[in-house]
A = this chain, B = another copy of it.
Amino acid sequence: MGRVAIVAAGQTAFGAHPFAGVKELFAAALAEMAASADRGWDPALLDGAYLASLSCGQGMQLGNFAPALVDYAGLPPVPAVHVENACASGGFALLQAVQAVASGQARCALAAGVEKMRDVSGERGRYWLGISGDTEYERMAGLTFAGVFGLMGARLLADGAMTRSDLADVAVKNHRFGSMNPKAMRRREISVQQVLEAPVVAAPLTAYDCCPTSDGAAAVLVVAEELVGTFTDEPVWVVGWGAASDSLALHSRGEITRLRAAGRAAERAYAMAGLGPADIDLAEVHDCFTVAELVACRELGFGGGGPVVNASGGLLAKGHPIGATGVAQAVELFAQLRGQAQEPRRQVEGAAAGLAFNMGGSGASATVHILQKGGR
């Protein structure tokens, strides 16, 4: 397998974009991605596109999503594939692009994700999200995603495996990072007290333990080693990756306080990279709920003194436009590893290796990518 690098990455701000549709959001992320390529980029080089979205193709009334976006953005008529794995759609689109390049089937592949969630009816939005959980036993019984992660949290608190303030600390940390990220949706710091006193969504989780619904898009360009110099002298290498799946329903799993797919995916990624958890300087960890970040960090092997987690603000503060999320994690790592996380307080100094963990449902599918900085 050849070496694989990310040479350009961009995203829209996450939040409410009432005047932009999915095509416009995609084009905006693509433009920022193009601007980030130190020597520019020639779309004629592109030979594959992997596009992630949950709602597109259906509720957004935009079917045939992948060729539609490629065509709208004026890209060449390359093979374009719509990848949908619930909230891990973006991570799996990135995985497909990375694998296509690693295997030599593509030299220059686009991975992008886009979602519109704000200006659709609440009922529709809940529907798209809700059906990504187990339908027969969870959703039909009224269990939402907040409910699923609330159950996980309640069990962990009852077991003494973590405290309520451990959860609140995650919300506080990620909102602090979000306050420094111009692309973040929630840009205000919050206190532990605010988290604890916010309205309960699904005990023990309050509103600040739960990520917001967002519009947004993200795009990264994945290329073979031979093409890296065409774009930049400062690529970010994708040195390891892995993916796995698990049962959708909590009751189908041996333990409801584990996210086994995360561990399985990470194991493969670490082995491929020849790195371990202690080598990771910063990580973007799928924090749809505070408890998810804590549980995932355990599965990823991050103990005390581990990496900086969710310096972007994470899903909790940066936002969670489903299909874009997994790709945006790579956008953040690309900037951080190149020392370009605009706001100095947010930049993780001297970061050399980063990890992105994206999951779908309550851990039914997972991707892990390990990125490393380095010259050509």
Contact = CB atoms under 8 A, between A and B. Distances in A.
A245 B62 contact: no
A334 B84 CA distance: 28
Contacts of A86: 57, 63-64
Nearest to A242: B79
Contact of A128 (B63, B79, B81, B244): B63
Contacts of A57: 54, 58, 84, 86, 131-132
Interface string A250-266: 00100000001100110
Interface string A64-93: 111110110000011111111110000010
Of the listed residues A64, A83, A134, A365, the one surrounded by the most CB atoms of chain B closer than 10 A to its CB is A64
A131 B81 contact: no
Contacts of A10: none
Nearest to A48: B243
A104 interface: yes
Contacts of A102: 103, 105
B103 A264 contact: no
A296 interface: no
B85 A245 contact: no
B260 A77 contact: yes
A150 interface: no
Contacts of A247: 67, 71
A1 interface: yes
B103 A68 contact: no
A85 B66 contact: yes
Nearest to A265: B79
Nearest to A23: B136
A201 to B, nearest CB: 20
B61 A135 contact: yes
B64 A248 contact: yes
Contact of A82 (B59, B84, B95): B84
Nearest to A363: B67
A31 B18 CA distance: 48
B104 A64 contact: no
Contact of A77 (B54, B135, B264): B264
Given A58-B131, A80-B365, A128-B58, A245 B67 contact: yes
Contacts of A371: none
Considering the complex of A and B, which 6 residue pairs feature the smallest CB-CB distances, nearest first?
A103-B103, A63-B131, A79-B243, A63-B132, A58-B58, A67-B245
Interface of A: 1, 54, 57-59, 61-68, 70-71, 77-86, 92, 95-96, 99-100, 102-105, 128, 130-135, 242-248, 252, 260-261, 264-265, 360-361, 364-365, 367
